[in-house]
Amino acid sequence: MDQTSVRLPGGWWDPAGRLQRDAVLTVLTGRDEEQLAQLGRRETASLVTQVLSRCVRRLGDLSPVPADVVRQLLVADRDYLLLRLRQATFGDRIRADLFCPWADCGERMSVDFSIDELPVRESVRKGPGYEMTLSPTARAGSADAGDLGGGEVTFRLPTGTDQEELSGLLADDEARALTLLLARCVERLGVTIIPGVDAVAGLSGLARAEIEAEMLRAAPMVEREIETACAECRRTFATPVDLHRFFFGELRTDNELLYQEVHYLAYHYHWSEAEIMTMPRTKRALYLGVLSGEIERMNGAS
């Protein structure tokens, strides 16, 4: 079984209060690829949970890793695992077609980059929760400012559970979704424990900005942009990297190819579909390469 050992940039705090960062991934098999492709265009956060539940075989001392634990992982850790799984399953290179964003150019172009070129930032401050203090100006502009006391705030970082719960709302009302996310993550505002949506909505814009900036500083990060240059006008720009689209788009696009590979290997090697579908993509490609070379050799000798 093809396995990859990785170290999470953040980590999962187990029930005993220990930080677990070391994980083991297994690559997707043909059966995994087929079943995930058949899920269609479901909400992506749930798809990430489905994929990682299949492929994260160990997390620290925990094996197997249930879906509930995969949901508890930090957003950046889930992205990092998906990134490494994509690398193991589809290879290191990502290729995409896009248009130059400069208005006086607009030429169609292709980008090609390595997954290892995407920076990954480890969280420096690690903990199940974080504390900060709002500035006096931020406190003064908030509703019910008296409840904020000295401006102490305790928060946690967003997880896969938050993504799954709010992803449906995000497309319809982004502002509301972000308020609900902040309310889920803020565990104390001044003297109020578990303050809730109304208390968070009553914060001044500056108070929210300070909390969000502190959350960003505390969180690990997988960079979602890469610098590239237009071959026509030679100007550089940052292009977003939609990891979910690359990963799940490739699964859906390649489902027909998967069946062609199964047919080809079954026809020539007389293996059963079940045997072939347990193979990861890399092993199928290896046998297809050997088979192609042998057929060419036989044709050349005839």
Lowest mean pLDDT among 74-78, 223-227, 284-288: 223-227
Domain ranges of the chain: 3-122+222-251, 130-219, 254-301
SS3 74: strand
- What is the token pair recorded at 194? 């578990």
Distance CA 177, CA 179 (A): 5
pLDDT-based confidence at residue 214 (cuts at 50, 70, 90): very high
- What is the token pair recorded at 172? 């319809």
Distance CA 124, CA 133 (A): 19
Distance CA 24, CA 203 (A): 42
- The better pLDDT of the pair 76, 88 is held by 76
SS3 229: strand
pLDDT for the residue numbered 42 = 61
Distance CA 220, CA 123 (A): 4
Task: Flag whether pLDDT at 207 surpasses 90.
Answer: yes
* Cβ atoms of 72 and 233 closer than 8 Å: no
The structure's pTM equals 0.84
- The better pLDDT of the pair 28, 288 is held by 288
pLDDT for the residue numbered 25 = 94
Task: Flag whether pLDDT at 47 surpasses 90.
Answer: no
pLDDT digits (tens, 9 = 90+) for 94-150: 787 888 888 889 888 888 888 888 889 998 888 899 999 999 999 888 877 667 878
Lowest mean pLDDT among 205-209, 230-234, 241-245: 241-245
Residue type at 275? E
Average pLDDT over residues 280-285: 85
